[in-house]
Structure 1
Amino acid sequence: MSEDGSTQSATTWPLPKFSFKVQWDSQEMSFQEVSGLDIEAQPIEYRAGNSKEFSVIKMPGLKKFSDVTMKKGMFKGDKAFWDWFGEIKMNTIKRKPVVITLQDEEGNAAVVWTLANAWPTKITGTDLKAQGNEVAIETIVIVHEGLTCEVK
């Protein structure tokens, strides 16, 4: 039976994407946008020499994770991105777990993505415009070694 709208069903409506939080180690940070929560299995193509089929078979290979891009407004005295990026030395960096939580209408965790061993690979400062009236936005690109997703 279809919903007639007389009662609100918890399973009918998809989650809104505007309520989320990001936690780095134990520090919670506010972001305007998070993108790149992707994972894929690279296909391996194989064909045995004595196969009767004239085509390859495809098997799942290594997993590949996308870089995660986060954007936030710039605040006076806030240099957390730059401090973390400044810790990069020859093949060493403090890797942090990053937890991204999508919240439901009541603010409870609905979906939780966890990035393992994350570290910054790129920071982009804001563009500057003499006639602009937008908020100054800075961007950080984070690489990681694993993405898990937990649906609550």
Structure 2
Amino acid sequence: MTMTANHGPSVISAARFVVTFDTAAPAYFSELTGITSEVEPTEYIAADAKTGAIMHTKQFGKTKPPTVILRRGVDGSGTIWAWHQMVRAGAPAARMSGSLQLQDAQGQTKAVYWMTDAWPSKLEVGNLRAGMSEVVLETVTFTCASIDLKHGGDVPW
């Protein structure tokens, strides 16, 4: 992380997002909708052995698989579409590991997330109307076994 003169770590800004999985060519995205990693809280109720008082506590509950949602203009390659079709067919080879790089306008990597056993669980091709000259957008939701921040800013982790 870069430290600013008087305010602590600087904020990461990204102009593009690059995903690279196993042997596949890199895919470029213009928008990162979100990275989600969640553990549901669960309530634990117990009675104190000495006083009999009822205690309510929150404990770690069910973990949900992390997701990454990215958006880009459809490039016509069909690579992610074909990968999603492998997932729909239940092919074990559809699970791949790879990186998500957040890059600035000069192409410098500002942060890297590592996705283990990821697969495109949802693919949406966007909201179009006939006669318009808008870019066709594709939104891809990657679900993975785990996601880890490998490095961010100028600090090697």
Bin of the TM-score, shorter chain as denominator length = 0.7 to 0.9
The answer to whether the aligner puts 1:20 opposite 2:17 as a matched pair is: yes
The one-letter code sitting in structure 2 at the alignment partner of 1:16 is: S
How has the CA–CA distance of structure 1 residues 91 and 79 changed in structure 2, closer, same or farther, with 3 Å as cutoff?
A: closer
- What is the TM-score of this pair, normalised by structure 1? 0.76
Q: Secondary structure at the match of 1:44?
A: strand
The one-letter code sitting in structure 1 at the alignment partner of 2:133 is: N
Structure 2 contact 43–56 (Cα < 8 Å) conserved: yes
Structure 1 residue runs without a partner (length 5+):
1-9
Structure 1 contact 122–140 (Cα < 8 Å) conserved: yes
Deviation at 1:91, TM superposition (A): 6.7
Deviation at 1:96, TM superposition (A): 0.9
* Counterpart for residue 41 of structure 2: 43
User: What is the percentage of aligned positions where both structures have the same residue?
Assistant: 25
Structure 2 contact 99–114 (Cα < 8 Å) conserved: yes
Structure 2 contact 115–145 (Cα < 8 Å) conserved: yes
The one-letter code sitting in structure 2 at the alignment partner of 1:141 is: T
The answer to whether the aligner puts 1:83 opposite 2:82 as a matched pair is: yes
Q: How far apart, in 2, do the equivalents of 1:93 and 1:15 lie?
A: 34
* Counterpart for residue 134 of structure 2: 134
How has the CA–CA distance of structure 1 residues 48 and 91 changed in structure 2, closer, same or farther, with 3 Å as cutoff?
A: farther
* Counterpart for residue 30 of structure 2: 32
* Counterpart for residue 72 of structure 1: 72
Structure 2 residue runs without a partner (length 5+):
5-9
Q: How far apart, in 2, do the equivalents of 1:24 and 1:95 lie?
A: 10
Structure 2 contact 16–31 (Cα < 8 Å) conserved: no
Deviation at 1:66, TM superposition (A): 4.1
The answer to whether the aligner puts 1:113 opposite 2:113 as a matched pair is: yes
Aligned pair count? Answer: 142
Q: How far apart, in 1, do the equivalents of 2:33 and 2:60 lie?
A: 25
Cα RMSD of the aligned pairs, angstroms, is 2.5
